[in-house]
Amino acid sequence: MSDIHPASNLDEVRKYFDSRAQGWDDRQHPEEGEVMRILKEGGVKGKVLDVACGTGVMIPFYFKAGVGEVVGIDLSPKMIEVAERKFSSDRRAKFLVGDAVQSGLEEKFDSIVVFNAWPHFIHPLKAISAFAKLLRPSGRLVIAHDKGREQLNRIHAGGAPFVSSPLPPAKDLAGSMSGWLQIKFEADEEGMYEVAGKKIA
């Protein structure tokens, strides 16, 4: 889509999401069946890094799917403030403010999930490479949306045109991921988008 394009720097993305942190949950209504399918098809388990976690919308779904521990990371301090308030009593979840692509994290993860956030990454190949390095052997990287590609691109054109890239066809994203990961699942449907890759040991 010619009417949306990526941010030129991370500050633009951070400011955009900081300004939307209050009331974010009122606008986010993932359908449980779709999300649980995404996690199942992606093989999400164990210790999860939730990239661009926002206010922690995905946290209850991870735990329902049997995940043991989640680390959420987001550029937006305001989003993380909300997430920390929501899950302050749950020791299974912790949150970090920062750029997941250059996080400096030393711990490894069984699964890394980027849910409803991929178009906001300025350098997608750099992100895939960084995330692959954070995976344990046979770990999974899952990039997914609970909306179809065309619908998502229309939403971003109307509401986030200057901090979004068009979501590529799933087969193209799978091709980009294949240099680091073995593709295990790919879907480019009207109501769901997902590419899941397994780390090549």
- Output the pLDDT for position 3: 65
Confidence check: pLDDT of 157 > 90: no
Residue 66 has pLDDT above 60, yes or no: yes
Which domains does the chain show, CATH number per domain? 10-199 (3.40.50.150)
Which among 158, 114, 150, 108 has a CA at the least distance from the CA of 133?
A: 108
Instruction: Tokens for 156, please give them.
Output: 């971003």
Place of tokens 């606008």: 27
Question: What does the alpha-carbon distance between residue 191 and residue 54 come to, in Å, rounded to a whole number?
Answer: 21
Q: Does residue 160 carry a pLDDT above 90?
A: no
Q: Does 7 score more than 60 pLDDT?
A: yes
The continuous run of DSSP H or E covering 113 comes out as strand 109-115
Distance CA 5, CA 13 (A): 12
**Residue 200 confidence (pLDDT):** 85
Residues 97-105, mean pLDDT to the nearest whole number: 93
Mean pLDDT of the chain: 93
Residue 71: both structure tokens together: 């680390």
Q: How far apart are CA 106 and CA 136, in angstroms?
A: 11
pLDDT in tens, 19-60: 999 999 898 889 999 999 999 999 999 999 999 999 999 999
For the record, the structure tokens of 101 come out as: 């692509």
Is the CB of residue 74 less than 8 Å from the CB of residue 55?
no
Cβ atoms of 143 and 80 within 8 Å: the answer is no
Please give the angle made by the CA atoms of 58, 137 and 53, to the nearest 5 degrees: 20
Please compute the mean of the pLDDT values over residues 188-200 and round it to a whole number.
96
C-alpha span between 31 and 33 (Å, rounded) = 6
Give, in order, the Cα–Cα distances in Å from 118 to each of 15, 60, 66. 17, 21, 24
